[in-house]
A and B are shown apart, each in its own frame.
Chain A
Amino acid sequence: MTTTDNTTNAPLEGDSVLSFTDLDVKFNTEFGRVHAVKGISLDVKPGEVLALVGESGSGKSVTSTSALGLLPRNATINGKINVAGKSVDTMSSKGLRKMRGDDVAMVFQEPMTALNPVLTVRTQMVEALELHGKAYGKEADEKAIELLRMVGIPDPERRLFQYPHEFSGGQRQRIVIAMALSCDPTVIIADEPTTALDVTVQAEILDLLRSLKEELNTGILLITHSMGVVADMADRVAVMYKGDLVEQGTVHEVLMEPKHEYTKRLLDSVPRLGTRGETPPVESDGPKALEVTDLVVEFHRQGKTPFRAVDHVSLSVSRGEIVGLVGESGSGKSTIARTALGLIPAASGEVAILGEDITKMKRKPLKALRKRVGVVFQDPASSLNPRLPVGDCIAEPMEVHNVGNKASRREKVLELLDAVELPRAMANRYPHELSGGQRQRVSIARALSLDPELLVADEPTSALDVSVQAAVLKMFTALQEQYDFGCLFVSHDLAVVDMLADRVVVLKDGEVVEQGDRERVLRNPQEEYTKRLLMAAPVPDPDEQRERREERHRFLEEVGEREHGLRIDDK
């Protein structure tokens, strides 16, 4: 593929490659009509990135799906959709199939599910090429290799014949992008392309996408909820709220001088690295809330040596202190949290809760100890039993430990609902009737029902929208001051940890890279890995983000790693 041959289907310079005019989408459900998109107009020009921003349920994915003609049958679509000068709404299904891939391609959120796990990368890439008549047989193989090399997959001749599971998450996303590029589309729709990836990988994928628009003049509709990604990538930004377009403008206009109330609130709630000043260290005496010494956790694999997920980790949490446990996926942070809760056995080492080692404890005393530990998990949708009303859910720990009688439990439940700022009437609702943020408040209320001395929070806000996250974190800090528990706070988001934690532990591949006071670790990191993490975290300010990006590229060159943008051979 070269830059010249996409002139065949690229429209004239200045024309938009993708445009929506008064798009209006309604869904007929068994509860009546749901108005998902309420008459919005957008357009994407060649070589431009338009970021479509909004929280979950704002209609951003519905908008992008409509461009591919892939909305479910119960959708009623009004308005005009134009892709590369062709009208989508009047297209036959054959025309639609040709358009998908030829004119518009999609990059999905989850690279593992976007690739078929039982087919090799070659089969999937060649299929796309052959279906659209771009190349056949040997020629298609060569083209696929060229595409893989272009997106920065090393040794593409060999790796073409591998299966998706043999690639890392970032590489899989590169393959998905390569497939999207295979038919020289004039516009790419990227639906949360980096949400499932770690920050350092996210930065690489964003670099790759940026080079697409620069080198190939492709228009990109980028759907995201992360303001940092917007600042890093976008030329223009459109903000959606409940199906309406509330604000549209250049990235500087929207991020630096937001006009609409909602945009302002949204930007206010984004946690920012480095905005919190110095805090006094927490002092406390008596036994530590949690003390992990030389912990090793291994997972047994059939016919192989056990996998060591946690390797000689030592850390401690004092009472009244929040310790942030930071790392990328696979670093063992959740494993440590679960081991601290006694859900996963330790291979060796000690886990002492409030001075008592739980690794060698019998069942009875362990149950008594668990009374003093609370837990909040990541996904509020799955951490509450869908068949229990909220009130019963919060009362469950008290019931298990036989605390109080029915009336006093009820009293406590109502008190906790007040504490997490939920209406008391919520006690009779079921979890599925609640929003994500409300569910997470319920989880927190449940964790606090026995006045724990230690709280283990495993990514409690990463499944939430930013504005909800901000509210939950604010409440969390207030509760921590009120109840004064020690907290092990697991997160991949450095900005969140910066907001909350007193001390920070950085993990990589099951080992502690760096630990110390928040101030020192996040402002003045000593280790290369910590620096790398900090640099990769995007900030919601386009100018600052550009500086950070350039700084990161300099740093990576210093340590001898070149970032791979798009590589186009000069043939």
Chain B
Amino acid sequence: MSEENRDTAMQGAPEPLPHAGGDIDDPKFADKSYSQGQLVRRRFFRHKGAIAGLAVLVFITLLAFTSIGIGPIPGWWDQDFTKTGTVVNGGKPTMGFFHFGEHPFGQDTTGRDYFALVMRGTQISLVIAFVVGILSTIIGTIIGAVAGYFRGWAESLLMRITDLFIIIPLLVFAAVLGSIASGAGIWALAVVLAAVTWTGLARLVRGEVLSLREREFVAAAQAIGTGNWRIIFRHILPNTIGVIIVATTFAIASAILLETSLSFLGFGVQPPDISLGSLISDYQTAFTSRPWLFWFPGVFILAIALSVNFIGDGLRDAFDPRQGKDG
């Protein structure tokens, strides 16, 4: 065994593709290798649906927050969503093909500008959705990881609690807790919604952790003397990040729908706050006479939920290209 021999070993070395045997023809890729993150980004930005979804979501978010401003910061739209006024033109939308008009989305019965109202509702719905999505992810990840890693009584206890949350119908549970909390404002409502929607993620993460903890790198870490929490946070959870991110996007999409349905039923966002759901609920009787009061918030709910779902789809394909279509 000579120096030569070692060279053979090294020659066969650069194999950036797990499935690839021979050489790559295209010189551009021959000696380029990608980190996991770069690969995911590459695949995500090739997913047309996801990019369209991302564009729509960014547009809606910017529109909602810049138009009427946030808190004390004023936006570029001069109408206030609380101010009543005279109803012009029967409250019909003034928006045409190339002009906005005074009240692009029309006015409600008391003469408030409906564009400002919808923007305010969108703001609140988005805030609630993201807070719920992120909080429920954190809760679900921790519970799932602890249950999956430690097994034993901790797993039994945590998963039975999870089961308990799952068997109670979500809408009923959220309605009861939500109507108590919503008096304290939208943040309390968001926290309560997060507290009832983490269950799916907890199960998902537990499953992932169960399979990861049997991998040899975990045994290697244990043999080195690594502590349990360090193993969970440094070795196991980073490997579940794909699953978690994908689940979070879908959690955000369903949080939007949950919040709007709660608000529609009257258990969610309470006046003086407005959400897209409460707007629909407030004007549901006006559906025949003033359909725009129903359509605009509805379209926004649809657009947000759909775009977030598309982003989730794109992320899933990017993290796990084997799933879904051939390629």
A36 interfacial contact with B, CB 8 Å: yes
B21 touches A243 (CB 8 A): yes
| Across-interface contacts of B43 in A (CB, < 8 A) | 30
Instruction: Give chain B nearest CB distance to A104 CB in angstroms.
Output: 22
Known: A59-B21, A375-B223, A396-B224. A387 touches B36 (CB 8 A): yes
Q: B1-45: contact bitstring with A at CB < 8 Å (1 yes, 0 no)?
A: 100111011101111111111111110110001011000001100
| Across-interface contacts of A467 in B (CB, < 8 A) | 5, 8-9, 12
| Across-interface contacts of A379 in B (CB, < 8 A) | 216
- State A62–B220 Cα separation when bound (angstroms): 34
For residues 43 through 78 of chain A, which have their beta carbon under 8 Å from a beta carbon of chain B? 55, 57-59, 62, 72-74
| Across-interface contacts of B1 in A (CB, < 8 A) | 268-269, 470-471, 474
Instruction: Give chain B nearest CB distance to A34 CB in angstroms.
Output: 4
Identify which of A312-320, A434-442, A511-519 touches chain B: A434-442
- State A4–B241 Cα separation when bound (angstroms): 61
- State A265–B5 Cα separation when bound (angstroms): 7
Known: A387-B239, A467-B5. A435 touches B12 (CB 8 A): yes
B22 touches A242 (CB 8 A): yes
Question: Which residue of the partner chain A has the closest CB to B224?
Answer: A397
Instruction: Give chain B nearest CB distance to A421 CB in angstroms.
Output: 7
A386 touches B224 (CB 8 A): no
For residues 157 through 180 of chain B, which have their beta carbon under 8 Å from a beta carbon of chain A? none
A57 touches B224 (CB 8 A): no
Q: What does DSSP make chain A's interface, helix, strand, loop or mixed?
A: mixed
B326 interfacial contact with A, CB 8 Å: yes
Known: A32-B29, A400-B224, A465-B12. A62 touches B21 (CB 8 A): yes
Known: A29-B20, A55-B12, A382-B215. A34 touches B25 (CB 8 A): yes
Known: A370-B225, A432-B36. A468 touches B216 (CB 8 A): no
Partner of A366, one of B225, B226, B235, B327: B225
Question: Which residue of the partner chain B has the closest CB to A38?
Answer: B22
Q: Of residues B8, B9, B15, which shows the largest number of chain A Cβ atoms within 10 Å of its Cβ?
A: B9
Partner of A377, one of B8, B14, B17, B216: B216
B77 interfacial contact with A, CB 8 Å: no
A34 touches B21 (CB 8 A): yes
Q: A332-373: contact bitstring with B at CB < 8 Å (1 yes, 0 no)?
A: 000000100111000000000000000000000011101101
Question: Which residue of the partner chain A has the closest CB to B214?
Answer: A382
Instruction: Give chain B nearest CB distance to A385 CB in angstroms.
Output: 5
In order of increasing CB-CB distance, the 10 nearest A-B pairs are: A32-B26, A370-B225, A383-B216, A243-B22, A387-B238, A471-B9, A367-B225, A435-B13, A31-B29, A341-B223
**Given A33-B26, A243-B21: 13 more A-B contacts, CB < 8 Å:** A31-B17, A57-B20, A242-B12, A242-B22, A341-B222, A343-B223, A377-B219, A385-B234, A388-B235, A397-B224, A401-B225, A465-B12, A474-B5
B residues sitting closer than 8 Å to A (CB atoms) are 1, 4-6, 8-10, 12-26, 28-29, 33, 35-36, 42-43, 215-217, 219-227, 230, 234-235, 238-239, 241, 326-327
A residues sitting closer than 8 Å to B (CB atoms) are 26-27, 29-38, 55, 57-59, 62, 72-74, 242-243, 262, 265, 268-269, 338, 341-343, 366-368, 370-371, 373, 375, 377-379, 382-388, 396-397, 400-401, 421, 429-430, 432-435, 437-438, 443, 446, 456, 465, 467-468, 470-472, 474
Can you name 7 A-B residue pairings with CB atoms under 8 Å? A72-B326, A368-B225, A385-B238, A385-B239, A388-B238, A396-B224, A468-B12
